[in-house]
Amino acid sequence: MLGLALGDAHVIRNAGAEATPDALRSMTLSHTALGTRRALVIGHTDCAAHGSDEAVEAGVRAAVARVRAALPDVAAEGAVYDVRAGVLRPVG
C-alpha cells in the first residue's frame, strides 16, 4: 500500500497507534542510530482501542503532536486507514 520494500521502514506497532513513551524511545533510537527522518502515524477505522472513527482521528492527531514534540528533527504526519474502503486518508 505504501510502496515500501523490505528495509525501507522501521515499523513500530501498538494498540491504538499511540505515541507511548516506549514507542517514542524506539523512534528516538531509530532517528539517532539509523537516520530516520520521517514518521507516519497510522490508525485505522473500527479500532477496538477507540470508541469511534472520530476518536481514531483525534488519537492520530495527538500521537503526531507527541512525536513532533519529542523528535523535532523528524517530519511527522498522520493518516487513518479505512478498513472498509481500503484507502489511507491523511489526517491534518
Domain range summary for the chain, segments of one domain joined by +? 15-91
- Residue 1: per-residue pLDDT: 80
At the topology level, CATH places domain 15-91 in: Beta-carbonic Anhydrase; Chain A (3.40.1050)
Scanning the structure block, which residue is given the C-alpha cell 469511534?
A: 52
Confidence (pLDDT) at 43 = 97
Per-residue pLDDT reduced to its tens digit, 39-66? 999 999 999 999 999 999 999 999 999 9
Q: Output the pTM of the full model.
A: 0.92
Region for residue 86 given its phi and psi (left: phi exceeds 0; alpha: psi -120 to 50; beta: otherwise) = left
